Amino acid sequence: METLKLSANPSGRWRSLVCQCLLVLAFLAAMPCANATTYTLPKADDTVVGEDQTIITVYEDTLYDLARAYSLGSEELIRVNPGVDPWLPGAGKVLVVPGRHILPPGPHEGIVVNLPEHRLYYYPKPKRGGPIEIITYPVSIGKMDWRTPLGVTHVIQKQKDPTWYPPESVRKEHAEAGDPLPAKVGPGPDNPLGAYAMRLAAGNGTYLIHGTNNPIAVGLAVTHGCIRMYPDDVSALFPLIPVGTPVRLINQPVKVAWIDGELLLEAHPPVDAQGQSFEPNIDQFSDLLSAAVGNTTVAIHWDYAREVLQKADGVIATVGLEAELPNDPAAPPSPPPPATATATETPDSVSK
């Protein structure tokens, strides 16, 4: 028969247990909700979803684990937290988690993948009288010489536990790198397609939206043209997508939105013809911003807007206010604000 040995300092023992419980509760409270990538639009014409937040690291954290937990690509989180070691950020670091997104321009239907953003948006068909929902996930896109194609396509096939048949060109690439591939890779942990795959009509069916056995690379331009997702994300999306779902692949590094008369700007590193991100040309980015503003008369803080465009870190910023023009033609003219732009004006004409 065992003898139960009580601590000589019971109050200290209880304090230790209480501290452990509080730490567990704090950890659970800090974890993001499982459906954190599903947003409900209060109004059909709303164009911004999600919220940015800050978190404090604990010593076990890596930015790669945190990115996956908060439905971000690894580069998304690293880019907005410069100077932080992604593998050893250390305890007590305050990190920005960019969770706010401007919806891509164009029809809000089916799947939309914005390549510079490395992000997929899915617009489920709302049920009669039901809410309008948006589901969004980070993705990987094609690397150099294996770019993800642009344009409109659709899902032609769905596969659970797919078998991968590496194309001859891919096998040749791996063989030259000293990493030969078999002609066939069955389902399992070694399959780079993961557990779920959705085949697109683009490229005669050679492009897929699929999972991965290497989740740390989600959010990068590393694929052979396919769209790669975190395992948990693709398992959640797969049952929602019927065959025939339209898929629109776009290259939109600059997005804008109007909220209560404020001009919001979201910029991401542009993607070249080979799928690689590169440093933005500020003049070209400014032209994109002017084009996005269109005919709306707006007072833009161009110095700040250019700073946001230069950083291109995906964090939404307010860069302008809608301007009201005087309705009385007899009213004496007043000096224009220093940064008022219309569709006929260029950034340079208003930035002086």
Active-site positions read: 210, 226
Output the CA torsion 68→73→74→80 (10° steps).
Answer: -110
Gap between the terminal Cα atoms of the chain: 88
SS (H, E, C) 71-87: CCCHHHHHHCCCCCCCC
Output the CA torsion 257→263→264→265 (10° steps).
Answer: 100
Sequence-distant (6+) residues with CB within 8 A of 198 are 155, 157, 158, 159, 208, 209, 210, 238, 241
Q: What share of the chain is helix, strand, coil (3-state, %, to 5)?
A: 25, 25, 50
Give one DSSP letter per residue of 45-104, joined into a string. T--EE---EEEE--TT--HHHHHHHTT--HHHHHHTSTT--SS---TT-EEEE---EEPP
CA 276 – CA 92 distance, rounded (Å): 34
Taking a C-beta distance cutoff of 8 angstroms, is the pair 308, 332 a contact?
A: no
Q: Which two tokens stand for residue 309?
A: 């465009």
Sequence-distant (6+) residues with CB within 8 A of 316 are 48, 52, 100, 101, 102, 264, 265, 266
Residue 63, CB half-sphere, CA atoms under 13 Å: how many?
25
Nearest of 341, 332, 245 to residue 290 by alpha carbon = 341
